[in-house]
């Protein structure tokens, strides 16, 4: 166990050092427009505009997907009376490299997206976002259905017996109405799904399970496309979106898929409720902040099996954005509860490679649970509370007002696993 922890820490530390070096050389070009005078009024003034371009290579990843690198590029038009910008076009591409079971290397994860944000269709009120993405994941985990799923004797996580692959390009459009502190959003997306489940895997076996409830919950792995319609409401009093010190964020989002296209048919809905609070512990505010989050994710109807392990398009009980320390996609179920508590500190600010970098430490505890379905299924969920949980700490490096680098090392005593994550942004 100690050897595993040290190995994870050494790998993450070296990757973070490389990332910090890379972040020191962004390719940036900006041009300020001169103040203009209108004819007949020498005091007339228009807010200055600025065009900002950034291109930054990075390295990162997690124990679940492997570690790798990619790029972040952004083009933004700035104006003083249009927060945070007039418009922004950004793109990110990344790949990770992992160790293949038979030796050598493989690429378990590849992702690229292009996004255009225009938050001022109506100034300071209505905005729109367009996004296109392509994601390929070849080592997604399936360890059984329900909260009581367990590894068969003699097998370990990472064995091909527990893996399947999914390729899913997506097109998405969403609108946001700002009536601070209230926010409303609505939109639609369309996602293609190509799944590859080897016949000698646990998932393929469970597709043919003797238990009817398991077969009905999992469905099949045929190709299909998913249209989705979304509607959300949030109450946001945070003093900052990237690194909040005080305030709260409460949200409710509903997603509806009336039917799918292709060789498999699904009809389902999802409700995701989130509550986040932030409290400064010390008078110096950023020196020590208590942050807490509670998430309830409910699936209704007949969803595809991969959605049973996810919420908000990411892994739920496990992974870098759910219960850290637990392997991603460890638990599958229609009902998910997640709780996170973090104690965040900001310790010092240094000038590195011509830019200001703020450094801090975080201690955290995560926990969560799934239920396979809404009825009683003790054969799948067990009895009692049986929470999955992870404990750990991490380093935070902030650059400017909008970028935060997160390095976390988490241990799950229940799962007897240690995981490391090097990603952008706080968990919440």
* C-alpha–C-alpha distance, residues 191 and 374, integer Å: 27
Q: What is the pLDDT of residues 307-324, one digit of tens each?
A: 999 999 899 999 999 999
- What topology is assigned to 2-424 in CATH? Porin (2.40.160)
Q: What does each C-alpha distance from 426 to 136, 149, 182, 408, 416 come to in angstroms? A: 24, 30, 22, 10, 25
pLDDT band at 1 (very low <50, low <70, confident <90, very high): low
**Residue 269 CB partners (closer than 8 Å, separation 6+):** 254, 255, 256, 257, 299, 300, 301
Query: How many other CB atoms are there within 10 angstroms of residue 8's CB atom?
Result: 18
pLDDT band at 370 (very low <50, low <70, confident <90, very high): very high
Three-class SS state of 79: strand
Q: What is the pLDDT of residues 141-153, one digit of tens each?
A: 999 999 999 887 7
**What are the start-end ranges of the H helices in 120-277?**
202-207, 212-218
* C-alpha–C-alpha distance, residues 138 and 108, integer Å: 5
- When mean pLDDT is compared over 122-131, 279-288, 376-385, 417-426, the highest value belongs to 122-131
Residues 424 and 406 sit within 8 Å (Cβ to Cβ)? yes
pLDDT band at 136 (very low <50, low <70, confident <90, very high): very high
Residues 162 and 395 sit within 8 Å (Cβ to Cβ)? no
Q: Share the mean pLDDT of the chain.
A: 88
CA-atom Rg of the chain in angstroms: 23
Q: Report the percentage of the chain scoring pLDDT > 70.
A: 87
In this structure, what is the dihedral angle of CA atoms 228, 229, 231, 236, given to the nearest 10 degrees?
40
Three-class SS state of 224: strand
Is-above-0.95 flag for pTM? no
Q: What is the pLDDT of residues 96-105, one digit of tens each?
A: 998 777 777 8
In this prediction, residue 7 carries a pLDDT of 54
């Amino acid at each position: 166990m100690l050897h595993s922890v040290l190995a994870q820490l050494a790998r993450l530390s070296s990757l973070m050092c490389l990332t910090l070096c890379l972040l020191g050389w962004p390719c940036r070009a900006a041009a300020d427009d001169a103040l203009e005078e209108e004819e007949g009024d020498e005091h007339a003034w228009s807010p200055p505009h600025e065009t900002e371009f950034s291109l930054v290579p990075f390295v990162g990843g997690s124990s679940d997907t492997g570690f790798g690198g990619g790029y972040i590029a952004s083009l933004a038009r700035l104006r003083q009376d249009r927060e945070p910008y007039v418009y922004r076009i950004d793109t990110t591409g990344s790949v990770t490299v992992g160790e293949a079971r038979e030796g050598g290397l493989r690429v378990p994860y590849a992702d690229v997206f292009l996004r255009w944000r225009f938050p001022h269709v109506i100034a300071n009120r209505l905005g729109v976002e367009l996004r296109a993405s392509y994601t390929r994941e070849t080592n997604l985990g399936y360890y059984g259905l329900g909260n009581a799923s367990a590894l068969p004797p003699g097998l370990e996580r990472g064995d091909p017996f527990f893996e399947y692959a999914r390729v899913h390009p997506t097109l998405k459009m969403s609108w946001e109405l700002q009536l601070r502190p209230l926010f409303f959003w609505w939109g639609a997306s369309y996602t293609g799904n190509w799944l590859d489940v080897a016949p000698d895997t646990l998932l393929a076996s469970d597709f043919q399970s003797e238990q009817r409830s398991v077969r009905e919950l999992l469905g099949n792995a045929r190709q299909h496309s998913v249209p989705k319609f979304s509607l959300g409401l949030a109450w946001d009093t945070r003093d900052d979106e990237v690194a909040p010190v005080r305030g709260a964020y409460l949200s409710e989002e509903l997603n509806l898929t009336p039917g799918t296209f292709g060789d498999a048919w699904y009809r389902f809905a999802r409700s995701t409720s989130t509550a986040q609070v932030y409290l400064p512990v010390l008078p110096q505010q950023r020196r020590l902040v208590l942050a807490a989050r509670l998430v309830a994710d409910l699936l209704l109807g007949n969803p595809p099996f991969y959605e049973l392990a996810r919420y908000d398009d990411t892994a739920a009980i496990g992974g870098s954005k759910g219960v850290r320390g637990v392997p991603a996609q460890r638990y599958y179920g229609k009902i998910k509860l997640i709780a996170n508590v973090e104690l965040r500190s900001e310790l010092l600010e240094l000038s590195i490679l011509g830019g200001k970098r703020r450094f801090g430490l975080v201690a955290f505890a995560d926990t969560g649970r799934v239920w396979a379905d809404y009825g009683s299924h003790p054969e799948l969920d067990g009895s009692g509370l049986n929470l999955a949980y992870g404990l750990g700490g991490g380093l935070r490096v902030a650059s400017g007002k909008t970028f935060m680098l997160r390095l976390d090392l988490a241990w799950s005593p229940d799962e007897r696993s240690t995981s490391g994550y090097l990603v952008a942004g706080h968990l919440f």
